[in-house]
Structures are given as C-alpha cells and as structure tokens.
Amino acid sequence: MAILLALATLCSCADSRSATGVGVVRGLVVDDSTGALLRYSVVSVIRSDRDVLVEQQNRLEWEGARELSTGSKAAFTCDSLGLGFYLVRARFIGYDTETLRLEVVAGDTTVASLRLRRTPGSQRLEVRSH
C-alpha cells in the first residue's frame, strides 16, 4: 500500500509540473580529465531568451540568472524553471568555465553533466586541517 501511495505522489508531482509549464535542470560538475567531483562549484542557470547581460560594480552579470552551489556532492538542482532554452554555466577556481545550452520541457527533468578543464598553468592546491 505504501508503494502505491509513493507512486501516486510521484505521478501527481510530475502531472502538476506539466500542468503549470515548468521543468527541472539537474546535474553534476566534474573534472574533465580525472572525473573527480568539483565540490562547491558555482552554477548559473540563465534563461537565454529573457535574461540580459548588465554591468554591475564594473563587471558583467546576467540579470535574472539563478546561482547555485553544488555542495559537497558536486550536484545541483534548479527547479520551477519556465519552459524554454537555458545556458547552464559552471565555474570553479583553477578551471575554465563550461557552458551548456539546454531546453527545459514541461514536467521533465533535463540532466546536465558539466566537465570542466583545468586552466593551463594553474596548480593543484590541497588544504588540510590539523
């Protein structure tokens, strides 16, 4: 009975997302050469047809973009996104920025795997606590 209730709940969530015209982008940020998780990366989700590039405090930023941290598992989820095309951009110190263009579809989860390349000339730095 509990399994049927859980399945019904999952189905109703998907149906409500579809009815309201929203979707989800979920993903992971990893090192391109080693596959290591890049924990606490910064991920920006930018609506490519609506968000605009503006200058703020002498730097360019996307107005309307959502910024997320991947946390300790290098994973991110951005939900309640309107339908359309998005740029998903990941940044991590010592790595080149990676950007993917994705389409968000009603009631669906779009999966993004962002593989960052180490910036040439950067060195790996390990910090250990005593």
Q: Is the pLDDT of residue 6 over 60?
A: no
Q: Which domains does the chain have, with CATH numbers?
A: 2-116 (2.60.40.10)
Q: What's the pLDDT tens digit per position in 16-48? A: 444 568 999 999 999 999 999 999 999 999 888
Buried b (16+ CB within 10 A) or exposed e, 18-46: eeeebbbbebbbbbeeeeebbeebbbbbb
Predicted structure pTM score: 0.71
Whether 66 and 50 have beta carbons less than 8 Å apart is answered as no
Whether 74 has a pLDDT exceeding 90, the answer reads yes
pLDDT on residue 18 = 47
Spatial neighbors of 10 by CB under 8 A, at least 6 apart, are none
In this predicted structure, which of 55-64, 78-87, 120-129 has the lowest mean pLDDT?
55-64
Q: How far apart are CA 71 and CA 50, in angstroms?
A: 27
CA distance 27 to 8: 25
Report the C-alpha gap between 16 and 12 in whole angstroms: 6
